[in-house]
């Protein structure tokens, strides 16, 4: 039998069964200086965690000195682990679990650097390794720098990503081919489909999981505006990604079945920085935890389409507007540990 270091590890599809969900408690006053808003943000994180805990175990990571106040918001079903955090983005800085054919788990390092050193991350940069130590799992590192929110996998050999989040000097110095090789090795995949994305327009350099997601092998769900607006580079980039994916094939030569969800228009929060992404949902055991933004028409359409993509799961829609105000969503705040 090969050793763990010699085995091929891959990142399973998110919709496969989980052992638990990991999340992070936001606390850093440099990142969140407004105490009132931070309290609202923590409540939104608690709402997600409490909802997921109805379907599978949840671990909330934080320095233990915050545990007493956090427990006022968190269900007793949620475990608190003493691993210090800065911010909430567990998809990006949390433990990225990979699995091999023997059923062994390991944690893959993507050397989180605060989205290209845009944000303080003294604690968040160490979370993945600290979780690996606590669980006594191998910690695999091939030098790749980035965030798991910047790449989507179908768990069956195919990745999709925006170049702007990876082929970027603030993370990786190499060419696209060099970064592709690192990503494919890190996530155990065979093919990556790149779209350009946008550099510098937001802290993530346009993570793919705010725009397009795999809903299983051969299935992509994407959120699109009604039209390309000349003054809005996000709309042009979204349609550019759509056209690339629509004409692409996966690692097994399959064309993608595309599901389009419209952008909400009448949202509760009106802000240029507000992220209102229906596709930034989380597929946990038996449920899909998705956002709603107050636009009745698109909230309902998104719920119908997500329910059709995951017919055996309960659709739970939450108001998590404070997370949208900080530039992300439910998927950004969660990270799954696959069942073995």
Phi, psi (degrees; rounded to nearest 5) at 177: -65, -40
Cα–Cα dist 262/151, whole Å = 22
Query: Do residues 147 and 93 lie in contact, with contact meaning Cβ atoms separated by under 8 Å?
Result: yes
Would residue 141 be called left, alpha or beta, if left means φ above 0 and alpha means ψ between -120 and 50 degrees?
beta
Per DSSP, which regions of 185-292 are E strands? 191-195, 212-214, 219-224, 257-262, 282-284, 287-291
Q: What is the largest CA-CA distance in the chain?
A: 58
Q: How far apart are CA 208 and CA 213, in angstroms?
A: 7
Reduced to 3 states (helix: H, G, I; strand: E, B; else coil), residue 193 is strand
Known catalytic residue at 284:
no
The catalytically annotated residue of 52, 189, 323, 332 is 332
Rounded Cα distance, 326 and 87, in Å:
10
Beta strand 314-318 with 158-162 is unpaired
Burial call 188-227: b when 16+ CB within 10 Å, e when fewer? bbebbbbbebbbeebbbbbbbbbbbbbbbbbbbbbbbeee
Q: Which residues share a beta bridge with 316?
A: 289
The Cα–Cα gap between 329 and 245 comes to 23
Residue spans of alpha helices (H) in 160-292? 163-166, 176-187, 233-246
The gap between the terminal CA atoms of the chain, to the nearest Å, is: 18
Contact 132, 107 (CB under 8 A): yes
Cβ contact 210:182 at 8 Å: no
- Torsional class of 164: left (φ above 0), alpha (ψ -120 to 50), beta (otherwise): alpha
Please identify every residue annotated as catalytic: 332
């Amino acid at each position: 039998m090969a050793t763990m270091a010699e085995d091929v590890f891959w990142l399973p599809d998110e919709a496969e069964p989980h052992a638990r969900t990991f999340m992070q408690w936001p606390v850093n006053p440099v990142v969140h200086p407004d105490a009132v808003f931070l309290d609202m943000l923590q409540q939104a994180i608690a709402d997600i965690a409490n909802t997921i805990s109805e379907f599978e175990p949840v671990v909330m990571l934080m320095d233990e000195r915050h545990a007493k106040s956090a427990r006022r918001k968190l269900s007793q079903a949620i475990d608190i682990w003493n691993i210090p955090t800065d911010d909430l983005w567990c998809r990006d800085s949390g433990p990225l679990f990979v699995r091999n054919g023997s059923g062994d788990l390991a944690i893959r390092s993507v050397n989180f650097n605060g989205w290209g050193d845009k944000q303080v991350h003294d604690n968040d940069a160490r979370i993945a390794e600290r979780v690996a130590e606590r669980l006594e799992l191998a910690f695999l590192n091939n030098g790749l720098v980035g965030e798991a929110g910047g790449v989507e996998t179908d768990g069956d050999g195919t990745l999709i990503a925006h170049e702007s989040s990876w082929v970027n000097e603030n993370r990786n110095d190499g060419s696209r081919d060099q970064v592709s090789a690192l990503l494919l090795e890190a996530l155990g995949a065979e093919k990556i489909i790149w779209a350009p994305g946008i550099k510098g327009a937001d802290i993530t350099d346009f993570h793919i999981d705010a725009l397009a997601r795999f809903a299983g092998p051969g299935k992509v769900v994407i959120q699109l505006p009604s039209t390309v607006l000349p003054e809005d580079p996000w709309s042009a980039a979204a349609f550019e990604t759509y056209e690339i994916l629509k004409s692409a094939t996966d690692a097994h030569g399959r064309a993608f079945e595309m599901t389009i969800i419209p952008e909400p228009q009448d949202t509760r929060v009106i802000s240029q920085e507000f992220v209102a992404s229906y596709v930034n949902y989380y597929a946990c055991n038996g449920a899909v935890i998705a956002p709603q933004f107050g636009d009745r028409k698109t909230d309902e359409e998104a719920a119908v389409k997500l329910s059709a993509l995951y017919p055996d799961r309960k659709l739970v829609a939450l108001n998590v507007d404070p997370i949208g105000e900080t530039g992300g969503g439910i998927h950004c705040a969660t990270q799954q540990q696959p069942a073995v």
